[in-house]
Amino acid sequence: MSIAPEIARLKACAVVPVVVIDEAEIAVPLAEALLAGGIDVIEITLRRPAAMAALEVVAKRVPGILPVAGTVVTPAQAAEVHNAGALAVVSPGFTESVDEAMRKTGLPWLPGVATASDCMRAVSAGRLTCKFFPAEQAGGVAGLKALSGPFPQMQFCPTGGVSLANLGNYLALPQVICVGGSWLVPADAVKNRDWAQVTKLSREAREKAAELRG
């Protein structure tokens, strides 16, 4: 089965930093700090007013990184992130209206799933690569294994409670293409503009992921 090059990029990186940005001006140095640590994707969540501007500036000024829009929950947001330069989109759940809007953009979309019913709706829409969210609260590795029984055609990006400590447990599953996590960009590092810390955490994650996947 062929996959979009953007999804292949997520799989190759293995670890996707999920970031919340309050000030658009920090987006570029933050993205550059991730790149310095070997992480070439960034998920900018639409949880703050500055998110759209941050997404746009990263898309324009940091060509080495794949800009992913996260927390897209409405059709209008789907169009907005497309116009801002996102090359892939992630949502915490699945709705038919957002699915339709995403088809209009032509961008790869990872809708969120947590239950068998969620998976059935996603599969019915042809969405076979999904975000497993909130991963730990939805059963963690055991829950993901259980879902993969009736849905062997699906691939997942677990997000929510994933950390360096349990990273290996998720990446060991063949149905997991990558994981998403906020631990790579801790709030205190962002507040203090400690980009060296972000680079250090990124490098640790990439090295562990490479070790696990050979």
pLDDT at res. 138? 97
Q: What is the pLDDT of residues 54-107, one digit of tens each?
A: 999 999 999 999 999 999 999 999 999 999 999 999 999 999 999 999 999 999
The residue annotated as part of the active site, out of 6, 80, 131, 136, is 131
pTM of the predicted protein model:
0.96
Considering the domain boundaries, does residue 129 fall inside one? yes
Q: How many residues does the chain have?
A: 214
Percentage of the chain with pLDDT > 70? 99
Contact yes or no for 95/74 (Cβ under 8 A): no
Domain CATH for 173 = 3.20.20.70
User: Which residue range forms the structural domain that includes residue 58?
Assistant: 5-208
pLDDT at res. 79? 97
Q: What is the pLDDT of residues 131-151, one digit of tens each?
A: 999 999 999 999 999 999 999
Considering the domain boundaries, does residue 213 fall inside one? no
pLDDT at res. 22? 95
The residue annotated as part of the active site, out of 6, 43, 56, 80, is 43
Q: What is the pLDDT of residues 12-43, one digit of tens each?
A: 999 999 999 999 999 999 999 999 999 999 99
pLDDT at res. 213? 79
Considering the domain boundaries, does residue 214 fall inside one? no
Label residue 192 exposed, middle or buried (CB < 10 Å: 0-12, 13-18, 19+).
exposed
Residue 154: strand, helix, or coil? coil
Considering the domain boundaries, does residue 60 fall inside one? yes
Indicate the average pLDDT of the chain. Answer: 96
Considering the domain boundaries, does residue 36 fall inside one? yes
CA neighbours within 13 Å on the CB side: how many for 86?
31
- Our answer to whether residue 145 is catalytic in this structure is no
Distance CA 121, CA 85 (A): 28
Is it the case that residue 121 has pLDDT exceeding 90? Answer: yes
Distance CA 136, CA 18 (A): 16
Q: How many structural domains compose the chain?
A: 1
pLDDT at res. 2? 65
3-state percent breakdown (helix, strand, coil) of the chain, nearest 5:
45, 15, 35
Considering the domain boundaries, does residue 96 fall inside one? yes
- Our answer to whether residue 43 is catalytic in this structure is yes
